[in-house]
Amino acid sequence: MAKTSVSQLTSNVKNQDCPIKFDWLNEQTPVVLSLDVARHFGKKHLHVLRDIGKLSLNLPKSFSQSNFGLAKYTDEQGKSRPAYNLTRDGFTLLAMGFTGQKALQWKLKYIEAFNAMERKLLKQSLPTTRPLSTPSDREALRGLVCAWIGVAGLPYSAAWQQVNAHFNIHSITALPKAWIPDAIKFVQSKIDALQQAALPPVETDSLDEIYNQLQILSSQNRQALVAIGKKISKLTGPLYKDAIARLGYKQVGPPCSADSILYCLHSPRYDSLHYLDKAFDSMSHAILTARAVLTLAAK
């Protein structure tokens, strides 16, 4: 038989002669010590241990282990001695073999004591009353449920039925105020799941393809701008210089000289190349960063 772990918590139920002492098995099942049973029924403890042993031989092992748990006690000489912790069912089977008027009286006392302890346990296990939420308390929850309905396309009643079922309540009016944060988290998780499902999967292969296309486009555009620049240079060479000289701008001074005006004509082309390169670099950096994040997430 397996040794039973019993908590140190003890409880007494008083009777006319002496109290019936209880321990708690796993803090939820009251048990009595075989030594106390022997004293109350006027039996030698050795004989009670023998009777329990005989019963256990004829009982399923699972029943014996659950209802006759090995225990120990210290005798008057300070020595450790074996005993058993008996549940209600274990005690009932054992006491069936005890006869006589005195034995009957103690059987009734033990039954009364077990009933009292089980009532006490039941009372302790009942959930405490929680203050219910008010419509004002549920305002944020109501708004989130409406958002959920909009995303999921659910009927209004169906959304609330899911909330009620999750918290095992018949109506949202029975939702305790303390549970509102959990209810908000529940509804938000539903919205997040729908939004996540709506996002198309992005694969690293697709990002590689976009990156390659971007590099090709960058090269092609740069080549096109350089080619246009060369054409402009040819036109703005001797032709523009001669035209500017004929108009007399050369005598105005260095700020309005032919070279200054030609620089103003050429600078937009260089700016275009600079901003184009910067834009392509930014896009390339974003793609490479996204690819790195997806690769890490896949590991």
> Mind listing the pLDDT tens digit for each residue in 20-53?
888 887 767 889 999 999 999 999 999 999 999 9
List, for the chain, all residue ranges whose pLDDT scores fall below the cut of 70.
Answer: 1-18, 27, 124-129, 197-205, 232-270, 272-273, 294-299
CB 177 within 8 A of CB 133: yes
The answer to whether the pTM exceeds 0.75 is no
Give, in order, the Cα–Cα distances in Å from 120 to each of 29, 109, 112. 11, 17, 12
Dihedral over Cα of 6, 10, 13, 19: its sign: positive
Joined together, the tokens standing for residue 33 give 């010590």
Strands 20-25 and 6-13: antiparallel
Specify the DSSP class assigned to residue 283: H
- pLDDT recorded at residue 215: 81
Question: What span, in angstroms and rounded, lies between the C-alpha atoms of 141 and 172?
Answer: 10
CA atoms within 13 A on the CB side of 214: 19
Residue tagged 């329990």 (tokens): 52
Joined together, the tokens standing for residue 11 give 């409880």
The values of phi and psi at residue 60, to 5°, are -60, 145
Torsion of the alpha carbons at 101, 106, 108 and 110, rounded to the nearest 10: -160
Q: Where are the beta strands (DSSP E) in 75-213?
A: 80-86
Domain boundaries along the sequence of the chain: 6-125, 139-198, 204-298
Joined together, the tokens standing for residue 88 give 């209600």
Alpha helices (H) along the chain: 34-40, 45-57, 61-67, 88-95, 101-125, 139-152, 156-166, 180-198, 204-235, 238-247, 258-298
Joined together, the tokens standing for residue 135 give 């419509």
203: three-class secondary structure by DSSP:
coil
- pLDDT recorded at residue 11: 44
- pLDDT recorded at residue 157: 86
Question: What span, in angstroms and rounded, lies between the C-alpha atoms of 94 and 52?
Answer: 7
